[in-house]
Amino acid sequence: MKPGRWRFRFRFTFFWRLFLSHLIVSLLILAPLITGFAYYMKQNMYKAKTEELSNVSRAVVRTMLKEDEEPTVALQAYRTLLAERKISFILLDKAGEILYRDPKMPGTMRNKAFLDNLRAHMFVSKANDSFVLQQDTDEPLVVVYKPIRPKSPSPKVDSNLFVISPLQGIQAAQQTLNQTLIYLTIFVSLVAIIASFFISHSMSRSIGSLRQSTQQIAAGNYTSRSPVRRSDELGDLASDFNSMAHQLEITSGKLEQYETRRRHFVMDVTHELRTPLTSIRGIIEGLKNGLVSSPEERAKYYGIIEKETFRLIRLINELLDMEKIQSGLITLHKKRTPLHELLEIVAESLEVLAEEKKLHLRIECEPSLLVYGDYDRLTQILINLVKNSIQFTEYGTIALKGYETAAATVIEIADTGRGMSKEELALIWDRFYKADPSRSKAGSETGLGLSIVKQLVEAHHGTITAESTPGLGTKFTITLPLTDSDMTMALGSGE
């Protein structure tokens, strides 16, 4: 744009589109109504005038047919009455000659052209016909033509009657009506403009509010909500938008949590890998530099290297298991397995650890009870839980209990260990969480066992809960569906 010049650019916004559409529709409805009403009133006024003149013509004809004398006397009786109503009449014979004419008829009705017009209509018009006679120098006239034909021949009354009245009254009424309709049109148009403005402004404001909320959502403010409250489709759109914003807010919060957990996960994995690697590196440097001379010390440090290596392998395997479970890459080969036999295998596998701490493993399960699931993964779940109980129990008994309800198989692992507080209980399913870091380090634990347990149980469409009382022990309860159909029914019923 050149300096010193400006140009107004009109933006055809939604408000103007809606406003003009409402206004145009209102005017399109109003114009035919006003035009039709004006035409209807005009026709009614003309019809009323015509009926009035027709009534006068019938009265004149009846009077003339009853009189035996000259019709002039009878017609004169109507002169005073009709003059006040500006009605005149004239009688012509069959040849068109004047038989009687109102003495006070206006001069414009006495000229030859006027009479020629009447004679012309007399020969072409039918009985009781009405017409408008347009004159060059004066106002139009409404004329009703009625032929008088008596039953018995009578030259005196065998004639043609023309009843005449100026159109002035109709025109004046029409002008008044037109003025009224003009005022009414202006008033209705103003009302339509105001109503269209407020309706369009209301909808435009609602859309503007929704647009602002959308911009805030696009800018990352997921707490923004549309304040629009309407009962129409626009209100439904605002409600759906708020629902979408709510879901985005929840998703954003979850993503932030995932990102926080990811950072913590990387830090924890780095720490868990650094610790054994640092230990191995220090021992290797000591052996390399000849700081360890005796065979007994070498054997001791080789054992530490082996232990830390196993710890690294276990950590990597557990990380791989977690990644497979979270990515849905794990495949479960479910079948029915005797639960008592499974519990016995777990107890035998951990018997050495339990005997080291002088703990007793007790199995409470019917030999005929079957559990539905992947044999290897169920074994992994139970070993991790029992091993966790052994780690945090100094004396007493660890009970492995199994029983069946109407819809599920329930497995309970209860110990008499130190227990956990509510704060610790809320964190035990988190990755790398360790209730007692010093103990877990001594036992080469990674803090991933319970997290893997929970995800494996959920992969079986089951649930796992933990109850604990400080100083009295902890109980883990696993609930597994009897079959896949039972799991489907439970999901369908919202359980």
For the chain, 495 residues long, give each residue's pLDDT as a single digit of tens.
455 454 545 556 767 777 778 778 877 887 888 888 877 777 777 777 788 788 887 777 777 776 555 556 666 666 766 766 778 778 787 777 777 777 767 766 777 777 777 777 776 666 656 666 655 545 677 788 787 776 665 555 577 788 888 776 666 777 777 788 788 888 888 888 888 788 777 777 777 787 888 888 888 787 888 777 777 777 787 888 888 888 888 888 878 877 776 777 677 777 777 777 888 888 888 888 877 777 888 788 888 888 888 778 877 776 777 667 766 667 788 899 999 999 999 888 888 888 888 889 999 999 999 999 988 889 888 988 998 888 888 888 899 999 998 889 999 999 988 888 887 777 777 765 555 544 444 444 556 678 888 888 888 889 999 898 888 889 999 999 988 665 444 434 444
Bridge partners of 132, per DSSP, are 142
Distance, in Å, from the CA atom of 427 to the CA atom of 370, rounded to the nearest integer, reads 32
All structural domains of the chain, each given as residue ranges with its CATH number in brackets, are 14-175 (3.30.450.20), 331-492 (3.30.565.10)
Distance, in Å, from the CA atom of 359 to the CA atom of 417, rounded to the nearest integer, reads 10
Q: Supply the angle between the helices 168-218 and 14-66 in degrees, to the nearest 10.
A: 160
Non-local (6+) Cβ contacts of 179 within 8 A are none
DSSP 407: S
Distance, in Å, from the CA atom of 221 to the CA atom of 235, rounded to the nearest integer, reads 22
Token representation of residue 367: 């030999």
Distance, in Å, from the CA atom of 296 to the CA atom of 301, rounded to the nearest integer, reads 9
Token representation of residue 186: 């202006």
DSSP 232: S
- H helices of 328-475, where? 339-349, 351-356, 375-391, 422-425, 437-442, 449-459
**Buried b / exposed e along 309-328 (16+ C-beta atoms within 10 A):** eebbeebeebbebbeebeee
Distance, in Å, from the CA atom of 115 to the CA atom of 251, rounded to the nearest integer, reads 97
pLDDT given at position 99: 76
pLDDT given at position 157: 56
Q: Are strands 397-404 and 408-414 parallel, antiparallel or unpaired?
A: antiparallel
Cβ 428 vs Cβ 392: under 8 Å: no
CA distances from 307 to 285, 295, 312 (A): 17, 18, 9
Nearest to 407 by CA among 372, 442, 383, 378: 372
pLDDT given at position 340: 92
**How do residues 287-315 score in pLDDT, each as one tens digit?**
888 777 778 887 888 888 888 887 788 77
Mean pLDDT of the chain: 77
Distance, in Å, from the CA atom of 157 to the CA atom of 44, rounded to the nearest integer, reads 33
Task: Name residue, tokens 């700081």.
Answer: 291
Non-local (6+) Cβ contacts of 43 within 8 A are none
Instruction: State whether residue 101 is helix, strand or coil.
Output: strand
The beta strand positions in 79-236, using DSSP E, are: 88-92, 98-101, 129-133, 141-148, 159-166
Bridge partners of 180, per DSSP, are none
List the helix and strand counts (H, then E) for the chain.
13, 12
The beta strand positions in 217-350, using DSSP E, are: 334-338
- What is the pTM (predicted TM-score) of this model? 0.45
Non-local (6+) Cβ contacts of 166 within 8 A are 86, 139, 140, 141, 142
Q: Are strands 159-166 and 408-414 parallel, antiparallel or unpaired?
A: unpaired
Instruction: State whether residue 279 is helix, strand or coil.
Output: helix
Task: Name residue, tokens 């029915």.
Answer: 336
